Amino acid sequence: MTEPSTLPIYRQIAEQIAEEIESGELPAEAPIASERELAEMFGISRMTARAAINILVQRGILVRRNRSRAYVAQPKFRFDLSSPGGLHEQLRKAGVRPGAKIIVAEKLPFDALEPKVVDALKLTPAEAVFHIVRLRTANDEPIAVEDSYFPERLFPDLLDFHLTDSIYGILKKYFSVEPAGSLQELEISLLDAEWAEIMEVPVDLPTLEIRRCAVTADNTPFEYAHDIYRGDRLIFTARTVGPDTLFPSQLRQSPPNP
């Protein structure tokens, strides 16, 4: 609308493809023409066609699979960080099939723990914790990794349960532990190589990182977690309490600015 003809060719082509997708002409999962085909169609070089596709991949409108051509991405999932019901529940309600793949499930001795885990869970010396890393999926598509720590004291045989189910469901059903609240720290970042491999997606993908500590009604911390969510597949919302607002008393467990 501003200066249509002065936009570089690769942006013009990206916009054109984006419009075909928005108009429904190209539905979700539809394959895009190959880079060489696009180049011939538009009378441009392959590198320029590739640049156009890259823009839409970065926006999350197209996805590349392996070394195959690009496809129209499914619409992004909505995830409300403040809503009752975690990711599993919200996906299910949206008609999406939630899943989980266990990457790590181990018991860690006290001495192997980072201080932040010890502090967050208020562990006493020699206490062991369970360390669980899960790849979360939606319709079999990886959307997040969860790196969680649970005190053995509270959940003695946690690793024997079926950990691909909702973990909060297990905690409630078998240990009668329910979250009364949590403190979360958010950070926008780009995916590093290590996590990219675990999540089976490209490096430098924009992500939302969340470090959180969940507590029960009697203010016992029962989970410390570091979650990484794909920014290209999820839209996040969160209701936060803003500046100058006091937190509910049961959550005021550490000084605001360490």
For DNA, the binding residues (CB under 7 A) are 8-11, 31, 34-37, 43-48, 50-51, 64, 66-70
- With CB under 5 to 8 Å by kind, the binding choice for 138 among DNA, its own copies, none is none
Nearest to 153 by CA among 133, 128, 190: 128
Nearer to DNA, 69 or 101 (CB): 69
- With CB under 5 to 8 Å by kind, the binding choice for 245 among its own copies, DNA, none is its own copies
**What is the DSSP secondary structure assignment for residue 125, as one 8-state letter?**
T
- With CB under 5 to 8 Å by kind, the binding choice for 10 among DNA, its own copies, none is DNA
Site for its own copies in 218-247 (CB under 8 A): 231, 235-247
Nearer to DNA, 35 or 152 (CB): 35
- Rounded distance between C-alpha atoms, residue 236 and residue 222, angstroms: 24
Does residue 22 belong to the site contacting its own copies (CB under 8 A)? no
- Name 240's Cβ contacts closer than 8 Å, sequence gap at least 6: 82
**What is the enclosing helix (H) or strand (E) of 169?**
helix 167-175
Q: Which stretch binds its own copies (CB under 8 A): 38-46, 99-107, 148-156, 250-258?
A: 250-258
- Name 87's Cβ contacts closer than 8 Å, sequence gap at least 6: 79, 98, 136, 144
Provide the residue type at 162 as one letter.
Answer: H
Nearest to 14 by CA among 46, 44, 57, 43: 57
State in angstroms the smallest separation of the CB of 217 from its own copies: 10
